[in-house]
Chains A and B, each alone.
Chain A
Amino acid sequence: MVTEDEIAHVSKLMKIDVDDHTEYVDKVQSMINYFDILDSAGVESEEISMQEISISNLRKDEYIPFDGKLIEKLNNYHGTYVRAPKMS
Chain B
Amino acid sequence: MNLKISALEYVQEVQNGNISAEDFVSKTLDQIQAVDDKLHAFLSVNEKAIEQAKIIDKKIKSGDKVGACFGMPISIKDNMCIKDNITTCASKMLEHFVAPYDATVITKLKQQDAVFIGKANLDEFAMGLSTEFSAFGPSKNPWNTEYVPGGSSGGSAVSVSAFECVASLGSDTGGSVRNPASFCSVVGYKPTYGLISRYGLISYANSIEQIGPLTRTVKDSAFMLNLISGLDPNDNTTIDNKNENYLSDIDSGIEGKKIGIITEMIGDGIDPSVLSATKDAISKLESLGAICEEISIDMIKYSVAAYYTITATEAGSNLARYDNLRYGYEFPVEGYEFNSYISKARQKFGPEVTRRMIIGGFVPSAGHAGKYFLKAMKVKSKLTKEINEAFKKFDLLIAPTVPILPFKIGEKINDPVSLFLVDINTVTANLTGKPAISIPYAISNGLPIGIQLFADSNQDKLLLQAAYALEQTVKLPEVPI
> Does A associate with B in a complex?
yes
A residues within 8 Å of B by Cβ? 2, 6-7, 10-19, 23-24, 27-28, 30-32, 34-35, 37-41, 43-44, 46-49, 51, 53, 57-59, 66, 68, 70, 73-76, 82-88
Considering the complex, give the chain A residue whose CB is closest to the CB of B325. A84
**Cβ contacts under 8 Å, B380 to chain A:** 48
Answer yes or no: B245 CB below 8 A from chain A CBs.
no
Check if B358 sits within 8 Å of A35, measured CB to CB: no
Chain B positions 397 through 416: 1 when the CB is less than 8 Å from some CB of chain A, otherwise 0: 00000000000000000001
Check if B333 sits within 8 Å of A83, measured CB to CB: yes
Residues of B324-354 contacting chain A, CB below 8 A: 324-331, 333, 336-344, 346-347, 349, 351, 354
Q: How far is the CB of B328 from chain A (nearest CB, A)?
A: 6
Check if A16 sits within 8 Å of B372, measured CB to CB: no
**Beyond the given A58-B236, A85-B338, could you list 14 further A-B residue pairs with CB under 8 A, ordered by the A residue number?**
A30-B416, A35-B308, A35-B372, A38-B309, A38-B371, A41-B378, A68-B100, A70-B100, A75-B327, A75-B330, A76-B325, A76-B333, A86-B337, A88-B337
If A31-B417, A75-B324 touch, whether A85 touches B337 (CB-CB below 8 Å) is: yes
Check if B308 sits within 8 Å of A49, measured CB to CB: no
Answer yes or no: B362 CB below 8 A from chain A CBs.
yes
**What total of chain B residues lie within 8 Å of the partner, measured CB to CB?**
66
Check if B371 sits within 8 Å of A17, measured CB to CB: no
Q: How far is the CB of B269 from chain A (nearest CB, A)?
A: 14
Considering the complex, give the chain B residue whose CB is closest to the CB of A59. B233
Q: How far is the CB of B436 from chain A (nearest CB, A)?
A: 18
If A30-B416, A31-B359 touch, whether A48 touches B330 (CB-CB below 8 Å) is: no
Answer yes or no: B144 CB below 8 A from chain A CBs.
no
**Cβ contacts under 8 Å, A53 to chain B:** 236-237
Check if A10 sits within 8 Å of B361, measured CB to CB: yes
If A34-B417, A75-B325 touch, whether A14 touches B358 (CB-CB below 8 Å) is: yes
Check if B236 sits within 8 Å of A84, measured CB to CB: no
If A14-B358, A34-B420 touch, whether A87 touches B305 (CB-CB below 8 Å) is: no
Residues of B244-289 contacting chain A, CB below 8 A: none
**Cβ contacts under 8 Å, A48 to chain B:** 374, 377-378, 380-381
Check if A49 sits within 8 Å of B326, measured CB to CB: no
Partner of A38, one of B305, B337, B344, B351: B305
Main secondary structure on B side of the interface with A: helix
Check if A31 sits within 8 Å of B361, measured CB to CB: no
Considering the complex, give the chain A residue whose CB is closest to the CB of B344. A17
Check if B316 sits within 8 Å of A14, measured CB to CB: yes
Q: How far is the CB of A55 from chain B (nearest CB, A)?
A: 10
Answer yes or no: B357 CB below 8 A from chain A CBs.
yes
Q: Which 6 pairs across A and B sit closest by C-beta, in order of nearness?
A: A85-B341, A43-B378, A46-B378, A59-B233, A10-B361, A14-B361
**Cβ contacts under 8 Å, B340 to chain A:** 17, 85
**Cβ contacts under 8 Å, B349 to chain A:** 16
The distance in angstroms between the C-alpha atoms of A12 and B362, with both chains bound, is: 11
Check if A46 sits within 8 Å of B381, measured CB to CB: yes
The distance in angstroms between the C-alpha atoms of A72 and B374, with both chains bound, is: 42
Considering the complex, give the chain B residue whose CB is closest to the CB of A69. B100
Considering the complex, give the chain B residue whose CB is closest to the CB of A75. B328
Check if A10 sits within 8 Å of B362, measured CB to CB: yes
Considering the complex, give the chain B residue whose CB is closest to the CB of A16. B346
If A16-B346, A31-B417, A58-B236 touch, whether A84 touches B358 (CB-CB below 8 Å) is: no
Residue of A7, A32, A73, A86 with highest tally of chain B CB at under 10 A: A32
Considering the complex, give the chain B residue whose CB is closest to the CB of A45. B378
The distance in angstroms between the C-alpha atoms of A85 and B299, with both chains bound, is: 48
Considering the complex, give the chain B residue whose CB is closest to the CB of A58. B236
**Cβ contacts under 8 Å, B110 to chain A:** none
Check if A28 sits within 8 Å of B355, measured CB to CB: yes
Considering the complex, give the chain B residue whose CB is closest to the CB of A17. B343
Check if A41 sits within 8 Å of B379, measured CB to CB: yes
Residue of B316, B333, B347 with highest tally of chain A CB at under 10 A: B333
Answer yes or no: B375 CB below 8 A from chain A CBs.
yes
Considering the complex, give the chain A residue whose CB is closest to the CB of B312. A31
The distance in angstroms between the C-alpha atoms of A6 and B306, with both chains bound, is: 22
Answer yes or no: B469 CB below 8 A from chain A CBs.
no
The distance in angstroms between the C-alpha atoms of A47 and B385, with both chains bound, is: 11
What would be 9 A-B contacts, judged by CB atoms less than 8 Å apart? A2-B362, A15-B323, A23-B351, A31-B420, A35-B363, A43-B375, A46-B379, A76-B333, A84-B338
